[in-house]
A = this chain, B = another copy of it.
Amino acid sequence: MRKLINWRPAKGALAALGCAPFVLVLIAYMVASQARLEVNPNDKMLPAFASFSAAITRVAIEPDRRTGERLLWVDTAASLRRLGLAIAISAVIGLTLGMALGALPIAGASLSPLVAGVSLIPPLAILPILFIVVGLGELSKVVLICIGITPVITRDIEQRVREIPRELIVKAQTLGASTWQIMLRVVLPQALPRLVSALRLGLCSAWLFLIAAEAIAAESGLGYRIFLVRRYLAMDVILPYVLWITAVAYLTDYVLGWISRRAFRWHFLGQLQ
Contact = CB atoms under 8 A, between A and B. Distances in A.
Interface stretch (A60-68, A87-95, A112-120, A260-268): A112-120
A55 to B, nearest CB: 15
A104 B5 contact: yes
Nearest to A249: B120
A128 interface: yes
A238 B129 contact: yes
A233 interface: yes
Interface string A157-193: 0000000000001000100001100100000000000
Interface string A1-32: 00111011100011001111110010000000
A148 to B, nearest CB: 8
A246 interface: yes
Given A128-B226, A250-B117, A3 B178 contact: yes
Nearest to A243: B121
Nearest to A207: B122
A124 interface: yes
Contact of A230 (B106, B111, B128): B128
Interface in A186-207: 204-205, 207
